[in-house]
Structure 1
Amino acid sequence: MRLSAEPAFVLHSRPWRETSLLVEVLSEHHGRLGLVARGVQGPKKQALRAALQPLQWIRFDAVQVGELARLNTAEALDVAPRLSGEAMLSGFYLNELTLRLAPRQDPAPELYEAYGRARVRLGAGEPLAWTLRRFERDLLDALGFGFDWANDGDGTPIDSAARYQLDPEYGPRRVLSDRGHGDRSRAATGRGLLALAADRAPEVDDLPGLRRAMRDVLAHYLGPRGLKSWDMLAELNRVSRPPNQNAAD
């Protein structure tokens, strides 16, 4: 199969053999693809190497051969966001989460659009925690794992004054007390879930609960092996933040 002028976002790139790269991209029409870029070393290939860096938006031509596609040409469609610190870790998180959960060669146009929106928000310096929660919601929805965020698993409207755990199979499940009905420390506020459903920025106090509840859902689909970016963010929190304050909150 030939891929011509296919838009994509670069998720990951690593050296392969002496002069080549293995590149993972999220393409507009074909989902996540693995590309082999041969012979990209040397001064004449500098523009191509730059186009194949993570977070770059590109257009490429390739030929699909088995699991991997052979890259013929690629060009950058814009300038990738210049990120540092927590924003850079957040970009790494977007890429790692997409790599782990999006299957190869399975078209996911909604995920492609969601990634593009999150990338713009990171580059614009929008609040990181809200940017990441929106992307997590959109990724789950695009891959068929999402919920009706405004209602619990039984279809009852979310109570803004209550707390909810996110059960991957059931949906939002109300936490009735600290004894026998769920862990409130892992629960999201109803107010936060309603904000997520309405795509409205939550109150600051609602963001930590949303983060923890969403992480439990993502961990269910990721399996026993977590994300490197989670470990990196945890370490950043440990060395740079006061107790009970998190960089991703």
Structure 2
Amino acid sequence: MATMKRGYVLHHRQFRESSVIVNLLVEGVGRVDAITRVGSGKRSIKSILQPFQPLIIQFSAKSEARNLGLKNITQIESAAPAMPLSGNSLYSGFYLNEILVRLLSVDHQAEGLFLDYHRALLALAKQFCSSHLRYFEMALLLELGALPSLAYDTQGDSLDNRCHYRFIAESGFIPVATTQESPFSHGKGCLSGAMLLALASQNLQPEQFNQAKGLMRYLLTPLLGNKPLLSRQLFSNKAD
């Protein structure tokens, strides 16, 4: 008998009159695209097929779904109350969902990302802080094999919190002979070693947020391509 697994809805869309296709992030599995009937009246599951609602889910290999390259959801239930996200925390959740749908293919299982995502939602539900986005972006980049080393520079030496570095694509961080901190911009600015080490240890300080944001955006841009992220339009300039 198939076991029930924890999961979250990342996105869903209508499929035929009484069914939906859902993109899910499932514990121990990763990205799953599935089809399910939504039902009607008191038996409808529409109310739980929503983002940020913890779920427990069971799948099967029903022939119709399999022919569409999808799993079939045979059972789905609420596992806990929905995450109480609002304001910038809600927009942040939409952002996490959008980059997961854009970057994580069904073929890439990404088993460990469920817990990173779950922790990010818990942190955002408690209080908005842009650092929670940076830590999840870091976990996603690591899963995709696109995160440079945050421990060693291009020469194999440990990153130093007293030094500054420049990022070189496909190589890593190279030390630069400067003591003046400058903003990270289009890969040409300097990054403080203190920020890189704080990012790696998930201990960013407010004064490091902008540099960390610039680095993550620079690393994500080649993966996301030219299509704008809809969720970013929800943020004020200071929120994300």
Give the TM-score, by structure 2 length. Answer: 0.85
Report the alpha carbon displacement of residue 105 of structure 1 after superposing the two structures with TM: 4.1
Alpha-carbon distance in structure 1 between the residues aligned to 2:8 and 2:143: 16
8 A Cα contact 1:151 1:158, kept in partner: yes
% of aligned pairs identical?
A: 31
Alpha-carbon distance in structure 2 between the residues aligned to 1:93 and 1:131: 12
Alpha-carbon distance in structure 1 between the residues aligned to 2:75 and 2:84: 24
In the alignment, what sits opposite 2:110? 108
Alpha-carbon distance in structure 2 between the residues aligned to 1:56 and 1:166: 38
Alpha-carbon distance in structure 2 between the residues aligned to 1:166 and 1:227: 24
Letter in 2 for 1:190: G
Matched pairs, number: 229
Could you list the per-position Cα deviations for residues 85-124 of structure 1 after superposition, in whole angstroms to 9, with x for gaps in the alignment? 1111100011111111112043322211211111111112
In the alignment, what sits opposite 1:140? 141
8 A Cα contact 1:150 1:158, kept in partner: yes
Describe the SS at the equivalent of 2:227: coil
Describe the SS at the equivalent of 2:106: coil
In the alignment, what sits opposite 1:185? 185
Q: CA 1:166–1:103 in structure 2 vs 1: closer, same or farther (change >3 Å)? A: farther
Q: CA 1:84–1:166 in structure 2 vs 1: closer, same or farther (change >3 Å)? A: farther
Alpha-carbon distance in structure 2 between the residues aligned to 1:69 and 1:34: 6
In the alignment, what sits opposite 1:42? 40
Alpha-carbon distance in structure 1 between the residues aligned to 2:229 and 2:175: 27
Describe the SS at the equivalent of 1:49: coil
In the alignment, what sits opposite 1:13? 12
Letter in 2 for 1:14: R
Aligned runs of 1:60-75 on 2, under 5 Å?
60-64=57-61, 65-66=66-67, 67-75=69-77
Alpha-carbon distance in structure 2 between the residues aligned to 1:10 and 1:165: 38
In the alignment, what sits opposite 2:202? 199
Select which of 110, 124, 127 maps to 2:126. Answer: 124
Report the alpha carbon displacement of residue 17 of structure 1 after superposing the two structures with TM: 2.4
Is 1:55 aligned to residue 52 of structure 2? yes
Alpha-carbon distance in structure 2 between the residues aligned to 1:22 and 1:61: 15
Letter in 2 for 1:137: M
Describe the SS at the equivalent of 2:185: helix
Could you list the per-position Cα deviations for residues 200-226 of structure 1 after superposition, in whole angstroms to 9, with x for gaps in the alignment? 2x2211110110111010111122224
Alpha-carbon distance in structure 2 between the residues aligned to 1:71 and 1:156: 50
Alpha-carbon distance in structure 1 between the residues aligned to 2:43 and 2:155: 56
8 A Cα contact 2:23 2:34, kept in partner: yes
Displaced runs of 4 or more, over 3 A: 161-168, 173-177, 182-188
8 A Cα contact 1:33 1:104, kept in partner: yes
Describe the SS at the equivalent of 2:75: strand
Report the alpha carbon displacement of residue 175 of structure 1 after superposing the two structures with TM: 5.1
Q: CA 1:160–1:35 in structure 2 vs 1: closer, same or farther (change >3 Å)? A: same
Return 5+ residue gaps in structure 2 as ranges: none
Q: CA 1:168–1:227 in structure 2 vs 1: closer, same or farther (change >3 Å)? A: farther
Is 1:160 aligned to residue 161 of structure 2? yes
8 A Cα contact 2:8 2:54, kept in partner: yes
Alpha-carbon distance in structure 2 between the residues aligned to 1:31 and 1:184: 32
Alpha-carbon distance in structure 2 between the residues aligned to 1:59 and 1:105: 22
Select which of 228, 231, 247 maps to 2:239. Answer: 247
- Please tell me the root mean square deviation across aligned C-alpha atoms, in Å: 2.3
Return 5+ residue gaps in structure 1 as ranges: 238-245
Bigger proportion of residues as helix: 1
